[in-house]
């Protein structure tokens, strides 16, 4: 509760949270505002924005409603970004926790795996994975998670290595607490705050990666995405720049909102402090 008040007391946190809430409401209200398939042909092609009340943001080259694509694209970006970030965080925390707490040859082996994943840029890994396995939303989420789990794993390991030598952990060992219980009850809760602060960066990166994959034609073709909308407007950029500008602006606002929320979250978690040594 104290950390929540700190988050709401942060100007960055409140601004970022407001942007994310607006995007969430836009995604949830998409079936109400624009019922039906957002990829269907709804009107005359290349209708400019603000010229027809039925299509406030105009239509694309095929006559699809830009507003519908924008709303459903918000849903896609948030779902993919959050799901990929949660998957990466869970995998990274599990690997980092195991490596830091067990130590020895297990630590060395797991860290070499982490090093191998960090050598390859996350976007290139996602690009290769999607190109090899195939295109679907689940594959895109998994590809993004595989490219981003190494950072939370390394940060979790560093936190665990520092915490496991503290007095309260030693006291837990002395009274005979099981190692698994020590790891889950004494170490993990105190190691999580810095790692959770990293989650906003992962979400922002996941949103951009999904948009980039869709821009390259490697996103799910059966759903509306901001990246595919930006790609759709490339060929008519001079005559109908709004087709790329509108989803591009939405993408920038989404990433900005996540970044600001992450700044506020980092301050709130950083001020909270861990358990006394």
- The number of beta carbons lying within 10 Å of the beta carbon of residue 5 is 10
| Residue showing tokens 């915490």 | 163
In the numeric block, which tokens belong to residue 112? 């070499």
pTM: 0.87
Tokens of 131: 């190109």
**pLDDT value, residue 276:** 36
User: Residue-wise pLDDT tens for the chain (277 aa)?
Assistant: 656 677 777 888 899 999 999 999 999 999 999 888 899 999 899 999 999 999 999 999 999 999 999 999 999 999 999 999 999 999 999 999 999 999 899 999 999 999 999 998 999 999 999 999 988 889 999 999 999 999 999 999 999 999 988 888 888 888 888 888 988 888 988 888 888 888 888 999 999 999 999 999 888 888 999 999 999 898 898 889 999 999 999 999 999 999 999 888 887 876 544 443 3
- Tell me the domain boundaries of the chain: 2-272
The tokens describing 270, both together, are 């950083």
User: What architecture does CATH give domain 2-272?
Assistant: Orthogonal Bundle (1.10)
What's the CA gap between 176 and 221, in Å, rounded?
A: 56
The alpha-carbon radius of gyration of the chain (Å, integer) is 22
Burial label, 14 (beta-carbon count in 10 A; 0-12, 13-18, 19+): middle
Q: What is the pLDDT of residue 263?
A: 87
What span, in angstroms and rounded, lies between the C-alpha atoms of 148 and 141?
11
Q: Are 148 and 114 in contact (CB under 8 A)?
A: no
């Amino acid at each position: 509760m104290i950390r929540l008040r700190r988050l709401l007391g942060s100007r960055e946190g409140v601004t970022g949270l407001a942007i994310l809430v607006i995007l969430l409401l836009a995604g949830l209200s998409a079936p109400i505002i624009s019922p039906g398939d957002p990829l269907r042909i709804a009107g005359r092609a290349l209708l400019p924005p603000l010229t027809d009340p039925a299509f406030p943001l105009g239509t694309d080259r095929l006559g699809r409603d830009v507003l519908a694509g924008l709303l459903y694209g918000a849903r896609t970006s948030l779902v993919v970004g959050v799901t990929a970030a949660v998957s990466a965080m869970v995998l990274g925390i599990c690997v980092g926790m195991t490596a830091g707490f067990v130590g020895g040859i297990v630590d060395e082996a797991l860290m070499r795996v982490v090093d191998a994943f960090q050598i390859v840029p996350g976007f290139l890994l996602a690009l290769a994975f999607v190109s090899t396995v195939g295109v679907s939303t689940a594959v895109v989420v998994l590809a993004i998670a595989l490219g981003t789990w190494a950072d939370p794993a390394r940060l979790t390991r560093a936190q665990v290595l520092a915490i496991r030598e503290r007095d309260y952990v030693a006291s837990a060992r002395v009274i005979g607490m099981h190692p698994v219980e020590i790891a889950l009850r004494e170490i993990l809760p105190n190691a999580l705050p810095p790692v959770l602060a990293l989650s906003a960066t992962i979400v922002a990166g996941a949103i951009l990666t999904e948009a980039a994959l869709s821009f390259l034609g490697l996103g799910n073709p059966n759903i509306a995405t901001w990246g595919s909308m930006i790609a759709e407007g490339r060929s008519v950029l001079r005559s109908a720049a709004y087709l790329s500008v509108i989803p591009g602006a939405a993408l920038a606002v989404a990433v900005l909102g996540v970044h600001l929320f992450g700044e506020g979250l980092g301050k709130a978690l950083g001020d909270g402090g861990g358990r006394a040594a």
